[in-house]
Structure 1
Amino acid sequence: MAAGFAFFGTCVDTPRLGEVRGLEAPSLLVVSDGRISQRCMGAEALERRRQLEQEGVEVRVLEQGEVLLPGFIDGHIHFPQFCFAGCGIDMPLMHPEGFLAKYAFPTEESMGEVERAKVVYRAALEVLLHCGTTTAVIYGSLHLGASKVLVDVALERKGPRAFVGKVCADRYCPDTYVEETEQSLQDTEDFIQYTQSRRTGSEAPFLVQPVVTPRFLPTCTPKLLQGLGRLADKYGCIIQSHLSESIDEVEFSATLFPGQTDAEVFHQFGLLKSPSMMGHSVQLMQGEEELLRQNGAAIAHCPLSNFFFASGALPVKQLLKRGVKVALGTDIAGGYSPSMLTAMRSAVMAAKTLQFRHVKGCAFGTESEAPSAKRAKNAEAPAGSSEDELSHFEALYLATKGGAEALDLGHLLGSFEVGCRFDALRLRSQVGPMASFPASSQADMLLKIITLGDDRNVKQVFVDGELVHSL
């Protein structure tokens, strides 16, 4: 296979949680037909670079202060909600005057105007590329037309990879923004067929892919859930929803499905399997974690929005150790930032909160268990211990390889393994807060980008080997 081009320099990935590869010596990545066809490091990389240059192959050399990373994978984002990102996060989720009622539902309803949806969705895709997101698992609106438009504009833009869900809801929504059950199922099947017909090539991961999307249990009748489960099975679709997100959601769902947890309901209707991406899951009840693990379902960890709506922090390290897959998401607009760098930083801070304690006799409260204590009774490490800590490099794993594994695409996305698609970011550290203070090592350079970086640091973005964004 003839080489298309190659990158030489600090090419870093995280093939496993806790492992960072490519910081100690320069790497060379050869890209052919959108895939990584060769990877070598150290002296071998230097020799291979020389050979390729002699053969006339373009070798793109990373400059001092630059690093190449796999593209970021956003596991949970609501595209219509870009319109009000940064607003409403001081409100309760499900109150009659809360986040959903005042902001989310009216804004999503406005996507029924197809031309407006087209403008919003094009802008949202552009924002994600500027932030370095090369794959996004997306919630659209209830509208079939707007959902098809999202597929169209993603194909037109050639990135990021768009796993698109036409949201389904047939109860407990505003009268002007709710579906009839049969129409929801019919539109969902139409959307699945349309999206699958737009895919090009014969191999996953496709640039666009349909996602079966019951909004969450309070807005979905058993009949709708049953029908969506059958459609997901019939067409082999990814599934996404919100699961055990907040105290008010869990309590309301319990009145609708007495005696069953969120996970049990999704499982009953064939909507908890691999691959499926369940948002939040901060308020997991006993047995839900095990159902997720047994079925290969993943959690889309949205730490920033969890601070505002979930009243808790997800014990990511504990879940990963017990075999539950965890991705990372921005959750626009429950989370106000579309940047996966912000999501990484928020994930690290959220993990820190699991260790918060008051000493005995403290003036600010009584000594109590950490939020994860009850869920950790049988864990290897006690809740709130250093085992809960998440490093910034581990958060990078969640944003890349972890997201790919959650989608059952770890063999094709999220790392620089030979055979993976070349979805990648060229990042620079010479701008922003760190510009005047260069790092003393490659590891510190990468850490500075993760902790201080923003879209100004994203110099180039590639999807399937094609340059889709450049500063």
Structure 2
Amino acid sequence: MVFAIFGTCVDTPEFGEVRGLHEPTLVVVSSGCIQSLYRGRAAEESRKTLENQGVSVRVLHASEILVPGFIDTHIHFPQFPFTGAGIDKPLMGDDGFLVKYAFPTEESMSDLAIARSVYNAGLETLLRHGTTSALIFASIHCQASKELVDAAIRNRGPRAFVGKVCVDRHCPDSYIETTETSINETEDFINYTQARAAEAGHSPPYLVQPVVTPRFLPTCTAELLAGLSQLAERYKCIIQSHMSESIDEVEFSSALFEGKTDAEVFSDFGLLRAPSVMAHCVQMKCTEEDLLRDSGAAIAHCPLSNFFFASGALPVKQLISRGIKVGLGTDVAGGYSPSMLSSMRAAVLASKTLHFQYLPGAVQSSVGGLSVGAKEKESSKEQDDLSHFDALYLATMGGAASLGLQDLLGSFEEGKRFDAVLLTQVSTALSFVCRHDSREDLLQKILTLGDDRNVKEVFVDGQSVYSQP
């Protein structure tokens, strides 16, 4: 089936570049793929040609903007039930977020009825918010993780890159595996998911894909890391984990692995490579940045949860300028919102907080604050400030590049799969949008003020998988 969409279609093919705000675009879709694409006058002319040929052309309203599908590079599906709770706790410790909330809720996924309910609701929630691809942590349970794979295929989206979580130490007795069981069940899960992807008949990137998932270094022995690395190499899997997230995590990991940094440990075991995605990375050292860049591994930036657990803000703009790939994640439930629009806003705000830190050359004022020169402030803004359109890049093309799928997803290009979100003005806070707004102002208002009510329709692989009632 061939159809076309004509109107304001905006994408960010490179960091700092925005296309489609000032001219119409015609996107022609066939068999889930962008068959052809025209901009400006060519779009107008091609639209008329297609209509004369009887091709269905959907003309977008002035209040509608099409963008590439959002790609969530870090989310914990079993944690949906306690979203919004526990963020007042530290990450580690007997009274921490993991022990009090994450581990018990993940343990409940051993009940397949609970897992099915949570996972189906989670997939529907993501689609409603415009997420068309998600890099997912499931639980340690192989069968429950398979249920998530099956649900994503039934729902026709979002694209689910699913990891059966692997842990063999420093977890509750009721939520832990032996090293052998973790490796064997991970291989079983990989084989199952790759078979289901082939059966579903989709073209790459498949609707489902297995991900090798050591939870993080404190919960994984050297033997487990070595075994998982071999599986990732054998089956050509994406790798995901947490890295250098919080001060207490970094100290614990260093004590377990002879004073090495997180990146050094992952690199030593062959788990830091392309495509691998490491969440957070807020407490990285310069040597870890070098390892990330040289290996081709990516960072899942989770600004909302970083405010609560990481005690810092990731210098995204600086990292990208140094050649490190960065995508955006919600980190449910450490992040309390499953909306990538919310994560985009948090990314912008987090970049601003970098100005609040001490700047070289600043002098103490008489009241104990910092007096920073204007030149220093402008320099800091230049190297750190993210715009809302930079955040859109992180949520689309940045995520695609992090997953090694930059040739298939993330922007509107001929030959890419058609994953897209139709955003619209509705009578929420956006009711004050003026008819004289430019396309740029309208999109910024949606990115700044929007929620799931502004997601009118969602496409995965050329199919409409969600539309507002």
Q: TM-score, normalization: structure 2?
A: 0.95
Aligned to 1:417: 413
Take 1:305 and 1:279, find their aligned partners in 2: how far apart are those partners?
A: 11
Tell me the SS of whatever aligns to 1:75.
strand
Aligned to 1:445: 442
Amino acid paired to 1:283: Q
Aligned to 1:58: 56
Query: Does the 8 Å contact 1:80/1:121 carry over to 2?
Result: yes
Query: Does the 8 Å contact 1:29/1:38 carry over to 2?
Result: yes
Take 1:362 and 1:121, find their aligned partners in 2: how far apart are those partners?
A: 54
How large is the RMSD of aligned CA atoms in angstroms? 1.7
Q: How does 1:125-136 map to 2 (within 5 A)?
A: 125-136=123-134
Post-superposition offset of 1:431: 3.0
Per-residue CA shift, 1:431-460, capped at 9, x if unaligned? 310123336100000000000000000000
Take 2:425 and 2:110, find their aligned partners in 1: how far apart are those partners?
A: 42
Q: How does 1:204-219 map to 2 (within 5 A)?
A: 204-219=204-219
Per-residue CA shift, 1:376-409, capped at 9, x if unaligned? xxxxx99844211110000000000010011111
Using the aligned pairs only, state the percent identity.
Answer: 62
Take 1:352 and 1:58, find their aligned partners in 2: how far apart are those partners?
A: 45
Per-residue CA shift, 1:106-165, capped at 9, x if unaligned? 000000001110000000000000000000000000000100000000000000000000
Query: Does the 8 Å contact 1:430/1:436 carry over to 2?
Result: no
Tell me: CA distance 1:19–1:339, structure 2 relative to 1, closer, same or farther (3 Å): same
Aligned counterpart for 2:100 among listed residues 82, 86, 102: 102
Tell me: CA distance 1:363–1:157, structure 2 relative to 1, closer, same or farther (3 Å): farther
Q: Is residue 78 of structure 1 aligned with residue 76 of structure 2?
A: yes
Tell me: CA distance 1:192–1:368, structure 2 relative to 1, closer, same or farther (3 Å): farther
Query: Does the 8 Å contact 2:274/2:297 carry over to 1?
Result: yes
Post-superposition offset of 1:360: 3.7
Query: Does the 8 Å contact 1:65/1:428 carry over to 2?
Result: yes
Aligned to 2:137: 139
Aligned to 2:427: 431
Amino acid paired to 1:51: T
Post-superposition offset of 1:366: 5.1
Tell me: CA distance 1:368–1:229, structure 2 relative to 1, closer, same or farther (3 Å): farther
Q: Is residue 310 of structure 1 aligned with residue 310 of structure 2?
A: yes
Take 1:6 and 1:147, find their aligned partners in 2: how far apart are those partners?
A: 36
Aligned to 1:278: 278
Take 1:161 and 1:445, find their aligned partners in 2: how far apart are those partners?
A: 28
Amino acid paired to 1:16: E
Take 1:400 and 1:368, find their aligned partners in 2: how far apart are those partners?
A: 38
Aligned counterpart for 2:463 among listed residues 441, 444, 466: 466
Tell me the SS of whatever aligns to 1:314.
coil
Post-superposition offset of 1:289: 0.3
Q: TM-score, normalization: structure 1?
A: 0.95
Q: How does 1:357-376 map to 2 (within 5 A)?
A: 357=357, 360-362=363-365, 365=368, 367=370
Tell me the SS of whatever aligns to 2:386.
coil
Q: Is residue 68 of structure 1 aligned with residue 59 of structure 2?
A: no
Query: Does the 8 Å contact 1:357/1:368 carry over to 2?
Result: no
Tell me: CA distance 1:382–1:93, structure 2 relative to 1, closer, same or farther (3 Å): farther
Amino acid paired to 1:260: K
Paired residues, number: 459
Task: Out of 199-208 and 278-287, give the one that drifted further.
Answer: 199-208
Post-superposition offset of 1:202: 7.0
Tell me: CA distance 1:169–1:151, structure 2 relative to 1, closer, same or farther (3 Å): same
Aligned to 1:117: 115
Tell me: CA distance 1:182–1:408, structure 2 relative to 1, closer, same or farther (3 Å): same
Query: Does the 8 Å contact 1:134/1:423 carry over to 2?
Result: yes
Amino acid paired to 1:446: L
Tell me the SS of whatever aligns to 1:59.
strand
Aligned to 1:406: 402
Q: Is residue 344 of structure 1 aligned with residue 340 of structure 2?
A: no
Amino acid paired to 1:195: T
Take 1:113 and 1:253, find their aligned partners in 2: how far apart are those partners?
A: 31
Aligned to 2:33: 35
